[in-house]
Amino acid sequence: MPLTSCPSVLVIYTGGTIGMIKDSETGALKSFDWDHLYKQMPVLESLHCRIDPFSFDPLIDSSDMNPSFWIRLANVIEENYEVYDGFVVLHGTDTMAYTASMLSFMLEHLNKPVVFTGSQLPMGVIRTDGRENFITSIEIATAYEDGTPIVPEVCIYFENRLFRANRTIKFNAENFDAFLSGNYPPLAEVGIHIKYNRSHILKPNFRRLKVHRELDTNVAILKLFPGITPHVISGILNIKGLKGLILETYGSGNAPTDHWFLDLLADAIRRGILIYNVTQCKEGSVDIGRYQTSVNLGRIGVIGGFDITTESALAKLMFLLGRKIEQDQIRELLGQSLRGEMTVD
């Protein structure tokens, strides 16, 4: 149940568009004053919960997001985990899906809501989407039923929909409806009421939170395209220290059948590089062997990623490589759903 009769939430501002307001004198954008949150947004008083702000110093633009920052963010949540009922992370939209996916892997046995949100327009702009995104994220982060949080997982709330974080991508740079979860239904849809899709929300396990801080960044992403040359593929596969490659293939996991292409991949796998097959499509799943153009990928040892997103695949690969476990075990775990990040046939 909530720690007190008045639920509490820690709002963690990392940077991004949502934290900007217009200076009334100059008209220029400046940082929102999170330390005087209730003065800036009096409507928050009606939520009947305690909202405490925490701002990173310095703030970081989401385009500059990096693993060291992910570790700092995980540390803040761990240090405050026993003090708050939920967490809202305010983050720039461009790399929000990467950060939120990574946090889902780093925070093992998470039993409280961690809700990422942001906005396409600054909080201080009249038509901002930030105000509603922020208020609803607070409601979700403090929503308990029968003493248990309704959404005890890392998620992204944006424009009336709550998504599982590691199923989400940013697909639109212009509209308020900026995020998509093509292979998994929303965890909640928001209108007059918040309608939770309870059958698709992870269940709490009531085990002690465990934070994983060791991440290995010796990975790369290779997106296939018609006309790709051996020099391009060889150049990436021969990056010094490379341990894992996310291979963005066509359709349900298809790739060129040229001998030179398969030979390059097979040689890399023999050298110990893990190759993870992820579809370029916004919806759908990798099904190695469904078509002749993917049969050989399975034969040489390429690992199928089912319907995992590229963002989540990157996070998962960095996370598993950072655990310093045997490669056979990593291969096995890449084919399993660890945090609800993919649907395994």
- Give residue-wise pLDDT tens across range 225-283: 999 999 999 999 999 999 999 999 999 999 999 999 999 999 999 999 999 999 999 99
* Range in 25-34, 94-103, 177-186, 299-308 with the lowest mean pLDDT: 25-34
Told to judge if 229 belongs to the known catalytic residues of this protein, a careful annotator would answer no
Neighbours of 23 (CB within 10 A): 10
Q: Specify the pLDDT at position 184.
A: 97
Domain spans, the chain: 8-211, 219-334
**CATH assignment, 219-334:** 3.40.50.40
Per residue in 210-219, is it b (16+ CB within 10 Å) or e — as a string?
ebbeebbbeb
List Cα–Cα distances, 66 to 33, 70, 99, 114, 183, in angstroms: 25, 7, 9, 19, 26
Rounded CA-CA distance 284/180 in Å is 13
Rounded CA-CA distance 319/261 in Å is 28
CATH 3.90.1150.10, applies to 8-211: no
Q: Catalytic: which of 17, 99, 117, 279?
A: 17
Do the Cβ atoms of 181 and 167 come closer than 8 Å? yes
Q: Bridge-partner residues for 304, per DSSP?
A: 277
* Range in 16-30, 50-64, 203-217, 252-266 with the lowest mean pLDDT: 16-30
Structure tokens at 297: 């990928």
**Domains 8-211 and 219-334 agree in fold:** yes
- DSSP tag of 103: H
**C-alpha gyration radius of the chain:** 21
Identity at 106, one-letter amino acid code: M
The answer to whether residue 17 scores a pLDDT higher than 90 is no
Q: Is the whole model's pTM more than 0.75, yes or no?
A: yes
